[in-house]
Structure 1
């Protein structure tokens, strides 16, 4: 059974005797997060419709919010913790571990569901209301955690939710569901998670109920996002609420959102992948998308410029390996019967030309030391790509930017989920 650590007034850390594999970092796993909107759905339980799709796609640590009133009925209860952080008025939380095999006809090791009731609107026991937390993993976690909520009432009862965590090797993963609609307990949850983790690597995934750039984080914390709305609120209120915060600075790392049966999209996390469709954004200019200025298929030498925040048809690219850790960056969109177009650094401004294998069309993809930002250095130059220090629509991308300047920073976002096993751009 797993051990317990509780980020309350004091933490309980117990030595472990079970053998474990070597330490791993966040990016060595295949994490995802999904607000299930209660676990049910018109087509049946999302446990049997949506979750197996994430599992089949290769994601192996899945943080769940609004996971419904109970785990799937085919899950087998293995272990129940004592009550955690209770007082005279309230008995506290209990962590339940289940073993679950959603693919019984396969030769398949069972998965583990770690469950905590955070919605006490239903009857006693595990069967609370639908707004409960869970983590699904294909490994048995040797230790589970409850991170202290941010807010408490005068009656000594919590007025916001805790975070549920598990340890895999020496990496901690947490499922977080901040309060709606403000998400103003998120910063406090992060402080409690960081204090519980100590010096270990950790990642907190979930529904933060606020946009990433409005979530206060401490020095040494990093946000990893899909860069697209993840909550479909309707009436023009779609917002990006589901993402990851980690104490690891993971170069070239980001999320990709995919809709299932919930009003939230699932978000899966991975590094930049070769041959995957991506959008490129100018990090120096408010993440305006890179786009082809003149999009006529017969126009060679069209400049690459910053466009709107949402890319047009010609604002999608793929990184194609060319050997020796170099890549061509190809415009995905082209008309039938036309040659494939590549980004080209032969001039002082970045342009689009037919792919010809020349040195001006090969790029060294370098990662900045912080989150997913890229630096793109043409093989024919000692300089990097960068904007011309103007701002707004139509800013041209230079090939002559000093590589250490902020103008040389770019972000990427996936057009679709390439899957966790897609080859990495190094």
Structure 2
């Protein structure tokens, strides 16, 4: 990442960007309650849907890294010269059929190192703006505002500090005044701020001539209205709407007339595998949903057509869950407060409408809009279950936690920057195999030793066996330390093990045999290449799927060279059904 000093980013498109007055520019502001990284499905499920409907989306709690391909970064004077706080990142995000510009600013102090964390801000636009800049906060622990300019019209995102006894009004009034002063340096320009002000409207002073655009409805689950828009333009009766959020924490707010939704199309470039966090089972249409009325079940991940799901949307807050170019998942009520998921032709009824509500940490509740019930595995802890998948009253329980996993597709496009992995994944993680859907786990092997296995699900035998801590060595290499034992994964061809080049847990020692290079392999997926050379070649983390299903697979290594094997593909995944490292916002 190359950073060039400047007072602001001067973006030079081939032609000046057209003006974008608020009256004719649909805007959505949204606190997305963090994201695990720029490839977090929240960007696709929520922000992607919003940018289909609006011209500009201002995002708070945008997570540690932005989505898309890195385009460049330029420094901004006045920002903290620490970590990543002093420059704005520009990424180009290819989403569905379009390409969008993402401008991202590190505002999370994150212990003082200003790298990663959830409390960062972003602006997503359809076009490259004429200029991008940031307005620093005068408060020691305040956050800067990030803005983009189209012609004479500036749009900012901002996330104020929370209010409390020691901070009853926070710095929203001061920051709005500073934004207005920054914009007014050039006569005739307008400004609009879409923000989580962490304070109710009219509880702080607005700059002279500024106008408020709010719904009068709560925008956070605590009953407070914290999310709205303040602008220099006065537009009487301008439309303002609270939108259903994908999280239980914040609602998005839309200002102006939104674009109408078109024909539903997939949110992701590749189909998803929809996995349950309690049982480890993958959602499957029995017999590929070959006829109407075929039930949906859960099964061990097998890379079959019946487990590949397109999550389709048309710019609304609902989705269709569909086998690619085939039938849709829908719910049928069979008794009071209970239903069964079945496959049926898409578009014939309204029963195919679902809403994905985020629990955080890449986990969703899948709620049937017509029935008001949620997809649930009951008490099942078996990945293969043809009976227990049902629709029940919606609750925050592990059986209703679902994960949208990347596909076992060796041709899928890489969608992350390996240099950002240490920023995006600094803490505890799970590691899932693309081929089998099983989680990397430490396991006693007798004689006081430890071996590494892969288990089907995250709640048995113990969650800790599937929890690992990364020790990053530079940007793209890491050692993996078992949370339960404190031991590290080591490739060892000499000690007794489960394969020629085995994998064991040994005391961490900073050796090459315990160091693994993360090599991008596909969408959210990667190979782990051991740094040690064995007999003239290098080894990648792999597994042997047992012929007789014992509930686990043997983890070993195989040669990295040659035709790629999907069993060498892994991805970071939640290791249990908790809400993740950040359960509440600020």
TM-score (norm 1): 0.53
Q: What corresponds to 1:71 in structure 2?
A: 66
CA contact (8 A) 1:122 1:129 kept: no
CA contact (8 A) 1:256 1:269 kept: yes
Between the two proteins, the alignment pairs up a number of residues equal to: 249
CA apart distance, 1:5: 8.0
- Listed as ranges, the matches of 1:140-219 within 5 Å are 140-152=128-140, 159-181=141-163, 182-198=168-184, 199=187, 200-219=189-208
Write the distance in 1 (CA, Å) between the matches of 2:235 and 2:250. 25
CA contact (8 A) 2:54 2:258 kept: no
Q: What corresponds to 1:112 in structure 2?
A: 101
Is 1:60 the counterpart of 2:55? The answer is yes
> SS at 1:253's partner residue?
coil
Change over 3 Å in CA distance of 1:252–1:271 after alignment to 2: farther
Question: RMSD of the alignment, in Å?
Answer: 3.3
- Listed as ranges, the matches of 1:335-350 within 5 Å are none
CA apart distance, 1:39: 2.3
* Cα displacement string for residues 234-274 of structure 1 (whole angstroms, at most 9, x for unaligned residues): xxxx111000011111121142111222211000001699x
Is 1:250 the counterpart of 2:235? The answer is yes
> SS at 2:198's partner residue?
coil
CA contact (8 A) 2:51 2:125 kept: no
> SS at 1:50's partner residue?
helix
Higher strand proportion, which one?
2
- Structure 2: tracts of 5 or more residues without a match: 260-586
- Structure 1: tracts of 5 or more residues without a match: 7-11, 153-158, 274-426
CA contact (8 A) 1:183 1:208 kept: no
CA apart distance, 1:128: 1.2
CA contact (8 A) 1:119 1:131 kept: yes
Is 1:28 the counterpart of 2:34? The answer is no
> SS at 2:124's partner residue?
strand
CA apart distance, 1:28: 1.6
CA contact (8 A) 2:34 2:63 kept: yes
Change over 3 Å in CA distance of 1:91–1:98 after alignment to 2: closer
- Listed as ranges, the matches of 1:259-338 within 5 Å are 259-262=244-247, 263-270=249-256
> SS at 1:226's partner residue?
coil
TM-score (norm 2): 0.39
CA contact (8 A) 1:5 1:145 kept: no
CA apart distance, 1:170: 1.5
The structure showing larger relative contact order (alpha-carbon pairs under 8 Å, at least 6 residues apart) is 1
CA contact (8 A) 2:180 2:207 kept: no
Write the distance in 2 (CA, Å) between the matches of 1:123 and 1:148. 16
Change over 3 Å in CA distance of 1:87–1:219 after alignment to 2: closer
> SS at 1:229's partner residue?
coil
Is 1:82 the counterpart of 2:64? The answer is no
CA contact (8 A) 1:32 1:267 kept: yes
